[in-house]
Amino acid sequence: VTLARAVEMKHSASLIAALSHETSQLYQKADDALQSLDIKVVGKWRKYFQLKCEFYKAYAYCYQGETLLAQDKCGEAVRGLQEGVKCYEKSEALCREYASAKGLGTFARPANHLFFRKLGPVLKRTLEKCERENGMIYHQKVAYDPPILELKATYGLAAPEPYTPPALNPLWSKEVYEKMNSKMAPKPQEDKEKKDKPAELPPVKEKETPMSEKDPGNFSGCVLS
Q: Does some domain include residue 161?
A: no
User: Widest CA span of the chain, in angstroms?
Assistant: 82
Q: Does some domain include residue 16?
A: yes
Q: Does some domain include residue 20?
A: yes
Phi-psi region at 204: left, alpha or beta (left = phi > 0; alpha = psi -120 to 50): beta
Sequential pLDDT tens for the chain (225 residues)? 678 888 888 888 888 999 999 999 999 999 999 999 988 888 999 999 999 999 999 999 999 999 999 999 999 999 999 999 999 999 999 999 998 888 777 677 888 888 888 899 999 999 999 999 999 999 999 989 999 987 666 655 566 788 898 888 888 888 888 888 777 777 777 665 556 667 777 777 766 666 565 666 665 656 655
Q: Does some domain include residue 71?
A: yes
Q: What is the pTM of this model?
A: 0.73
Residue 83, domain extent: 2-140
Q: Does some domain include residue 13?
A: yes
For residue 68, the one-letter residue type is: L
Q: Does some domain include residue 134?
A: yes
C-alpha separations of 128 from 38, 110, 139, 219 in Å: 43, 26, 15, 21
Cα distance between residue 82 and residue 134, in whole Å: 14
Element (H, E) at 219: none
C-alpha separations of 102 from 39, 93, 131, 143, 169 in Å: 10, 16, 41, 41, 57
Here the CATH number for the domain that contains residue 34 is 1.25.40.280
Q: Does some domain include residue 200?
A: no
How many domains does the chain fold into? 1
Cα distance between residue 68 and residue 47, in whole Å: 31
Q: Does some domain include residue 190?
A: no
